[in-house]
């Protein structure tokens, strides 16, 4: 009987699981010609396609500020009121958040 050799040792399998535990996977569809352009652009930049896409996303969003979702603002205001904050303090808080969110 032929012995089946495993691809990874248990330690390697654990390391792979650990590495992938904080990674997300997202599949996209694109025209074939665009795929070729993407692979060529990544190669010309001496980057993997994955790294190229992630860098492009970072560049695109570099100047976008995170915002508190508007549906959460009433809850925040109510919480501040319940914890004894005045209307002026609440306005100052919301103004501060609006000006300083990075």
pLDDT, tens digit, 9 for 90 and up, residues 33-79:
999 999 999 999 999 999 999 999 888 877 655 667 778 888 888 89
Q: Would you give the distance in Å from CA 61 to the centre of its chain? A: 11
**Residues spanned by the domain of 50:** 31-64
pLDDT at 63: 60
Which pLDDT does position 102 carry in this prediction?
44
Do 56 and 38 lie in one domain? The reply is yes
**41 exposed, middle or buried (CB, 10 Å; 0-12, 13-18, 19+)?**
middle
- Give a yes or no: residue 3 inside a domain: no
Task: Report yes or no on 92 lying in a domain.
Answer: yes
56 is a domain residue: yes
User: Which pTM does this prediction carry?
Assistant: 0.50
Is there a domain that residue 82 lies in?
yes
């Amino acid at each position: 009987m032929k012995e089946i050799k495993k691809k990874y040792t248990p330690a390697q399998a654990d390391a792979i699981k650990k590495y992938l535990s904080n990674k997300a996977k997202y599949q996209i569809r694109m025209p074939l010609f665009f795929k070729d352009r993407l692979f060529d652009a990544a190669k010309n930049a001496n980057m993997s396609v994955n790294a190229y896409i992630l860098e492009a996303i970072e560049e695109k969003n570099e100047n976008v500020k995170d915002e508190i979702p508007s549906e959460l603002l009433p809850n925040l205001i109510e919480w501040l009121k319940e914890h004894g904050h005045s209307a002026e303090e609440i306005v100052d808080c919301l103004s501060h958040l609006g000006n300083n969110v990075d």
